[in-house]
Amino acid sequence: MQASFTVNGTPRQIDVPEDMPLLWILREELGLTGTKYGCGVAQCGACTVHLNGEAVRSCQVRASDLEGAEVTTIEGIGTPENPHPVQAAWIETQVAQCGYCQSGQIMQAIALLQEFPVPTDQEINDAMSGNLCRCASYPRIRTAIHLATSRMGGR
């Protein structure tokens, strides 16, 4: 099937099977490999992107859901030269170990801070516990979220 949608503000047209997940469309059709495959079944969060402003697991979004949608990936929120404040907090806190889960962690954290600019630990737990980190960088993820909060005008 064909679909037209935007990714990081750029209009894209695709022609793929209708049940092909957004994850693989991004990675292999559009060449945006910052979004990662970890489980394919909504259990790890490595594939998290924003769909119309909400954090979603891109492994669960089908091509048939994409017509007219606005998708934002890790590549669309900041660059090495000009990182998003949440990315900057991640870098300053030295969060990543293998780093494979971190695109998803960061996309989830940005969505959290959009909803709760000054999240409580409970709100962080609720929002972030779907994102696995097998290297267990969790303490620094929490620290970086608090740091980003203060940077972004929160507490």
Residues of this chain that interact with ligand FES (CB under 6 A) are 37-40, 42-47, 57, 59, 96-102, 133-135, 137
Spatial CB neighbours of 68, under 8 Å, sequence gap ≥ 6:
4, 5
Question: Hunting for tokens 């620094």 — which residue is that?
Answer: 140
Cα-Cα-Cα-Cα dihedral sign, residues 39, 126, 136, 153: positive
Q: Which of 7, 51, 56, 95 binds other proteins (CB under 8 A)?
A: 95
- Residue 80 contact partner, candidates ligand FES, other proteins, none, CB within 5 to 8 A by sort of partner: other proteins
Q: Which stretch binds other proteins (CB under 8 A): 4-12, 50-58, 111-119, 134-142?
A: 134-142
Say how far apart CA 147 and CA 93 lie, in whole Å: 8
Q: Which of 123, 135, 146, 152 binds other proteins (CB under 8 A)?
A: 135
Binding mask 23-62 for other proteins (x = CB under 8 A): xx--xxx-x-xxxxxxxxx-xx-x----------------
Which region, judged by CB under 8 A, interacts with other proteins, from 6-14, 50-58, 72-80, 110-118? 72-80
User: Concatenated DSSP letters for 80-122?
Assistant: SSS--HHHHHHHHHT--SS-TTHHHHHHHHHHHHHH-SS--HH
Residue 57 contact partner, candidates ligand FES, other proteins, none, CB within 5 to 8 A by sort of partner: ligand FES
Handedness of CA 83, 84, 85, 88 (dihedral sign): negative
93 vs 58: CA distance, rounded Å: 27
Q: In the complex, which residues of this chain contact other proteins (CB under 8 A)? A: 17, 20-21, 23-24, 27-29, 31, 33-41, 43-44, 46, 73-75, 78-80, 83, 87, 90-91, 94-103, 106, 124-126, 128-142
